[in-house]
Amino acid sequence: MSFSQQRMLRSPTGAELNLYVKRAEGRPRAVVQINHGLAEHAARYVRFATFLGERGFHVYAHDHRGHGATRAPDAPLGRFAQTDGGAKVIADVAAVHDLIASEHPGLPVILFGHSMGGLVALNFMLSLSNRLHAAAIWNANFSTGLAGHAALAILAWEKFRLGSDVPSRLLPRLTFQAWGKAVPDRRTPFDWLSRDAAEVDKYVADPLCGWDASVSMWRDVFGFIFHGAVDANFSDIRKTLPILLVGGEKDPATDGGKAVSHLAGRMHRMGFSNLVSKVYAETRHESLNEVNRDIIMNDFATWAGGTLKA
């Protein structure tokens, strides 16, 4: 499996975005724009892209700032930017979206995001949903609560003591490490990602995965979370936009999928009428790398195809 193309895209933010493209087989039906998660990269989505390409979808997936092979003067590995990192990440997503529109005018675009990528995708949707045909937000946690406010306080303290351009010392303990410990009989600290040992081992062996994010990157990530936690920010999204929310029953990063169900409940109460939400039994964080991934990918293709017929 491989992408059809890998190239660099110059973003208005000054970033050189590492972009992968998978061309659809036969007549293209739509474009899926993928946003990857924290401490990973877009090349890990080649299996999903190949699956979608075989079903008539073009796929565009780029490495976010501070990830993979994307380069920017203010974004070394582990940092979005020295300032305004969250806004620059969204602007980069818009740059890829603009490229898609120029290369495939009139073709529907389905925005996809996993985990941190789900935070990014929803924040993009909050301001630019009129440009989207549909959106899929997977394994993302927008439930703030006391833990979220405590994390912000910790990050503010670390910024004061350490500086924003260094890895956070405390947030990894409260997130990745805590999630790892939540898995019984774990084989590695990253078993919380998947029940598939081979997929976990690939992640562990990948030098572009599993690193500790900087204080500023964590602050930007929580900025996405808190922005998506306010119902009023959804006011500009059309209520008929097809939306797919996905979670895993055994995903500690979303409290066993409860955060996904909570977001679905909020959006239903806000009047979104074309919303599908599913929490997969026994499934951990990385749905696309889980043992039941074929079922999950087929469900996505069925949903996406259904939105094109509506």
| Residue 106 counted as domain residue | yes
**Choice among 23-37, 59-73, 169-183 with the minimum mean pLDDT:** 169-183
| Residue 197 counted as domain residue | no
Work out the mean pLDDT of the chain and round it to a whole number.
Answer: 95
| Mean pLDDT within 88-95 | 98
| Mean pLDDT within 36-59 | 98
| Residue 156 counted as domain residue | no
In tens, the pLDDT along 136-167 reads: 999 999 987 777 778 888 888 888 787 778 89
Find residue 219's DSSP bridge partners: none
Q: Could you tell me the CATH number of the domain that includes residue 288?
A: 3.40.50.1820
- 10 Å Cβ neighbour count for 79? 24
| Residue 211 counted as domain residue | no
Confidence at residue 169, expressed as pLDDT on a 0 to 100 scale: 85
- The reported pTM is 0.96
In the chain, what percentage of residues exceed pLDDT 70? 99
| Residue 41 counted as domain residue | yes
| Mean pLDDT within 26-38 | 97
How far is it between the farthest Cα atoms of the chain?
56
Contact 257, 278 (CB under 8 A): no
Chain centroid, CA 236 distance in Å: 21
| Residue 173 counted as domain residue | no
Domain that holds residue 285: 5-143+229-309
| Residue 180 counted as domain residue | no
* CA distance readout (Å), 187 to 158, 182, 249: 31, 12, 20
**Choice among 28-42, 45-59, 66-80, 155-169 with the minimum mean pLDDT:** 155-169
| Mean pLDDT within 111-131 | 96
In tens, the pLDDT along 202-230 reads: 999 999 999 999 999 999 999 999 999 99
Residue 90 three-state SS: helix
In total, how many domains does the chain have? 1
In tens, the pLDDT along 283-298 reads: 999 999 999 999 999 9
- The Cα–Cα gap between 246 and 264 comes to 10
Confidence at residue 1, expressed as pLDDT on a 0 to 100 scale: 81
